[in-house]
Amino acid sequence: MPIRPYLDGHKFDGETIRQMGIAFELALASLRDRPDFDDPIRAALAQRIIALAKAGERDAERLCEDALRALSPAGLAGGRGLAGGRPSRRNLSGALR
């Protein structure tokens, strides 16, 4: 699922959008087996990734990890929360193009 529908008028260069898209796909892939995975979670992940990119972060893995951590109740307490078992970027390379 592309991140572009969530940009809501925010402007980024092509490479930043690509990195945000990779981060979004990584985050979504880590949640695919969760029964409570729904559109509000997708939207929250996308919004967090966009906010981080607006603040200057450009690394897809850090964008993903920080977005998952922000949405995880355990993440606030330093736990692994939703980010546990996150797939590697290499495993998703074909799905991200």
**In the structure encoding, which two tokens stand for residue 57, read together?**
């972060």
pLDDT, position 73: 73
Evaluate whether 73 touches 36 at the Cβ level (below 8 Å).
Answer: no
Place of tokens 């990195």: 19
Q: Which of 39, 3, 8 is nearest to 21 (CA)?
A: 3
Evaluate whether 1 touches 28 at the Cβ level (below 8 Å).
Answer: yes
- CB atoms closer than 10 angstroms to residue 51: 15
Walk along the chain (97 residues) and give the pLDDT tens digit of each residue.
689 999 988 999 999 999 999 999 999 888 876 655 568 888 999 999 999 999 999 999 999 999 999 988 754 434 444 444 444 444 444 434 3
**In the structure encoding, which two tokens stand for residue 81, read together?**
């929360």
